Amino acid sequence: MKRLAVLLSGRGSNFIKIYENIKSGVIKNAEIVLVISNKQDAPGLAYARQAGLNAIYLNPKDYPDREEYDRAIVDLLKREKIDLVCLAGYMRIITKFFVESFPNRIINIHPSLLPAFPGLDAQKQALEYGVKYTGCTVHFVDEKVDHGAIILQEVVEVLDDDSVETLSARILQKEHIVYSKAIDLIVNDKIYIDGRTVKFKKV
C-alpha cells in the first residue's frame, strides 16, 4: 500500500475526489495518510478532519523563511514515510530543498494544457488569449513553477459564451478524473520518466 500525502490551501475538491476514488477502488494500492494545509480555514482541511484523516495546519508565519517552512513539511512527510506527495490547490511555490527531498515523488494538477498558461488564473489566461481548447495537466513537480514532466492531460473545448466560472467548472470535472488516473498509474508502477517525457511501461 503506497502512502499518500495531500497538500492543499482551499476548497479541496481534488483531494476529496482522490479520497473517494481510493475508497471506491478506482485508485488501487494507495491510502491518504496525511493532509497538510498552509491555510487554517481551508475547507479541504475541515473535510479531512471530519473524515478522520491525519490533517495538519502549518502556519507559514511560524517560520523565518520558505525553506524552514518546507523543512517542517518534509519532516512530517518523512516521519509518515510518504511515498507520493500530491499538491491539490496548494498555493505555495515549494523550495528546491522540498523538491530534492522527494525526487519525482511530488505531483501537481494545473488547470491548463501546460506549457500554456502556467501560474495563477490559468482559466482566465486561456479565455483572454482566445484559445479554442484548454484543459488540465497532471505533472511531476520540479524547481520551476508548473514545469515538470507531464503525466496526463485532458482537453476541454472553450465555448463562445464561456465565463471564467463556466470554463473552470468544466475543467474541474476533468481534473477530478485525470488526477486519480495519474495517481493510480504512479502507485501501481505503470509509468517511468525518460528525459522529461513520461512513458508507459510495457507489460
Which residues belong to the annotated binding site?
12-14, 66, 91-94, 108
- Tell me if 11 contacts ligand GRF by CB under 6 A: yes
Grid coordinates belonging to 12: 479541496
Candidates 9-17, 50-58, 157-165, 195-203: pick the segment binding ligand GRF (CB under 6 A).
9-17
- Tell me if 14 contacts ligand GRF by CB under 6 A: yes
Q: Which is nearer to ligand GRF, 91 or 159 (CB)?
A: 91
- Tell me if 111 contacts ligand GRF by CB under 6 A: yes
- Tell me if 139 contacts ligand GRF by CB under 6 A: no
- Tell me if 175 contacts ligand GRF by CB under 6 A: yes
Pick the binder of ligand GRF from 5, 18, 55, 89 (CB under 6 A): 89
- Tell me if 135 contacts ligand GRF by CB under 6 A: no
Q: Which is nearer to ligand GRF, 58 or 71 (CB)?
A: 58
- Tell me if 110 contacts ligand GRF by CB under 6 A: yes
Q: Which is nearer to ligand GRF, 71 or 152 (CB)?
A: 152
- Tell me if 137 contacts ligand GRF by CB under 6 A: no
One-letter-per-residue 3-state SS of the chain: CEEEEEEECCCCHHHHHHHHHHHCCCCCCEEEEEEEECCCCCHHHHHHHHCCCCEEECCHHHCCCHHHHHHHHHHHHHHCCCCEEEECCCCCCCCHHHHHHCCCCEEEEECCCCCCCCCCCHHHHHHHHCCCEEEEEEEECCCCCCCCCEEEEEEEECCCCCCHHHHHHHHHHHHHHHHHHHHHHHHCCCEEEECCEEEECCC
Candidates 5-13, 18-26, 52-60, 153-161: pick the segment binding ligand GRF (CB under 6 A).
5-13
Is position 110 annotated as part of the catalytic site? Answer: yes
Pick the binder of ligand GRF from 4, 5, 7, 12 (CB under 6 A): 12
Single out the residue of 32, 36, 85, 90 nearest to residue 58, CA to CA. 36
- Tell me if 21 contacts ligand GRF by CB under 6 A: no
Distances (CA, A) of 118 to 40, 58, 73, 122, 139: 26, 26, 24, 6, 12
Catalytically annotated residues: 110
